[in-house]
Amino acid sequence: MRFLDAAPRFVFFTGKGGVGKTSIACAAAVRLADAGASVLLVSTDPASNVGQVFGVTIGNTLTPIDSVPGLSALEIDPEQAAEQYRERIVGPVRAVLPAAAVASIEEQLSGACTTEIASFNEFTDLLTDAAWTAAYDHIIFDTAPTGHTIRLLQLPGSWTDFLTEGKGDPSCLGPLSGLEKQRAIYTEAVGTLADPARTRLVLVARAQQSTLQEAERTHTELAAIGMERQYLVVNGILPDDVVGADPLTVSIHDSESRAVAERSEALKALPTDYIELKNDNMVGLPALRSLLQAGNSPTEAVHSSLGTTIAPLSALVDEIAAGGHGLIMLMGKGGVGKTTMAAAIAVALAERGLPVHLTTTDPAAHLADTLRGAVENLAVSRIDPAVEIQRYAADVMRSKGAHLDEQGRAMLKEDLRSPCTEEIAVFQAFSRVIREAKTKFVVMDTAPTGHTLLLLDATGSYDREVKRQVGSTMHVTTPMMKLQDPEQTKVLLVTLAETTPVLEAAELQEDLRRAGIKPWAWIVNNSIAAAAPTSAFLRARSANEVAEITQVTENYADRLALVPLLPVEPVGIPALRALGHSRFVRIAADA
- Which residues are paired to 490 by β-bridges? 328
pLDDT band for 116, please (50, 70, 90 cuts): low
Q: Which long-range contacts (CB under 8 A, 24 or more apart) does 126-134 make?
A: 126/40, 126/42, 127/10, 127/188, 127/189, 127/192, 127/193, 128/185, 128/188, 128/189, 128/192, 132/40, 133/9
Is residue 308 scored above 60 in pLDDT? yes
Q: Which of 14, 23, 210, 370 is catalytic?
A: 23
- Give mean pLDDT, residues 420-425: 70
Is residue 295 scored above 70 in pLDDT? no
- Percent pLDDT > 90 in the chain is 28
CB count in 10 Å sphere of residue 101: 12
Return the minimum-mean-pLDDT range out of 69-73, 248-252, 426-430: 426-430
Tell me the per-residue pLDDT of 457-511, one tens digit each, with 9 for 90 and over: 666 666 666 566 556 555 666 777 788 888 899 999 999 998 778 888 898 898 7
Q: Which of 18, 168, 332, 337 is catalytic?
A: 18
- Collapsed DSSP state (helix, strand, coil) of residue 15: coil
Alpha carbons 53 and 47: distance in angstroms, whole number: 13
Q: Which of 20, 174, 236, 580 is catalytic?
A: 20
Q: What is the pLDDT of residue 583?
A: 58
Is residue 517 scored above 70 in pLDDT? yes
Inter-CA distances, 27 with 140, 199, 321, 323, Å: 11, 18, 46, 48
Residue 20 among the catalytic residues: yes
How far does CA 368 lie from the centroid of its chain?
22
Alpha carbons 306 and 553: distance in angstroms, whole number: 10
Alpha carbons 317 and 561: distance in angstroms, whole number: 10
**122-131, 366-375, 387-396, 570-579 — most confident range:** 387-396
Tell me the per-residue pLDDT of 310-330, one tens digit each, with 9 for 90 and over: 888 999 999 999 999 999 999
CB 260 within 8 A of CB 215: no
Is residue 227 scored above 90 in pLDDT? no
Residue 45 among the catalytic residues: yes
Return the minimum-mean-pLDDT range out of 107-111, 270-274, 576-580: 107-111
More confident residue, 298 or 231: 231
- Give mean pLDDT, residues 557-568: 87
Q: What is the pLDDT of residue 332?
A: 85
pLDDT band for 224, please (50, 70, 90 cuts): confident
CB 327 within 8 A of CB 430: no
Of 293, 229, 304, residue with least CA distance to 538: 304
Is residue 178 scored above 60 in pLDDT? no
Q: Which of 45, 77, 142, 463 is catalytic?
A: 45
Return the minimum-mean-pLDDT range out of 68-72, 88-92, 119-123, 496-500: 119-123
Residue 21 among the catalytic residues: yes
For the stretch 139-166, what's the b/e string if a residue is b when 16 or more beta carbons lie within 10 angstroms of its beta carbon?
A: bbbbbbbbbbbbebbebeeebbebbeee
Residue 22 among the catalytic residues: yes
Alpha carbons 365 and 357: distance in angstroms, whole number: 16
CB 225 within 8 A of CB 419: no
Residue 500 among the catalytic residues: yes
Alpha carbons 517 and 434: distance in angstroms, whole number: 15
Residue 23 among the catalytic residues: yes
- Give mean pLDDT, residues 360-377: 77
Q: What is the pLDDT of residue 112?
A: 60
Alpha carbons 539 and 248: distance in angstroms, whole number: 11
Q: What is the pLDDT of residue 49?
A: 73
More confident residue, 47 or 339: 339
Q: What is the pLDDT of residue 590?
A: 47
Alpha carbons 116 and 147: distance in angstroms, whole number: 11
- Percent pLDDT > 70 in the chain is 78
Alpha carbons 545 and 530: distance in angstroms, whole number: 10
Q: What is the pLDDT of residue 456?
A: 61
Mean pLDDT of the chain: 80
Residue 161 among the catalytic residues: no
Where helices occur in 95-203 by DSSP H, the ranges are 99-108, 112-128, 130-135, 147-153, 157-164, 173-176, 183-193
Alpha carbons 421 and 548: distance in angstroms, whole number: 38
- Give mean pLDDT, residues 252-276: 94
pLDDT band for 425, please (50, 70, 90 cuts): confident
DSSP-assigned letter for residue 311: B
pTM, to two decimals: 0.74
Inter-CA distances, 562 with 211, 292, 518, 543, Å: 22, 31, 20, 15
Tell me the per-residue pLDDT of 185-211, one tens digit each, with 9 for 90 and over: 767 877 888 888 998 999 999 998 878
Kindly give the pairing relationship between strand 199-206 and strand 230-237: parallel
CB contact set of 16 (below 8 Å; sequence gap of 6+):
205, 210, 211, 214, 333, 334, 335, 448
Is residue 163 scored above 50 in pLDDT? no
Q: Which of 115, 478, 495, 500 is catalytic?
A: 500
Q: Which of 14, 22, 171, 582 is catalytic?
A: 22
Inter-CA distances, 303 with 1, 247, 279, 543, 544, Å: 35, 21, 14, 7, 11
Of 146, 137, 140, residue with least CA distance to 23: 140
∠487-489-492 over CA atoms, to 5°?
120
Q: Which of 15, 16, 17, 21 is catalytic?
A: 21
- Collapsed DSSP state (helix, strand, coil) of residue 118: helix
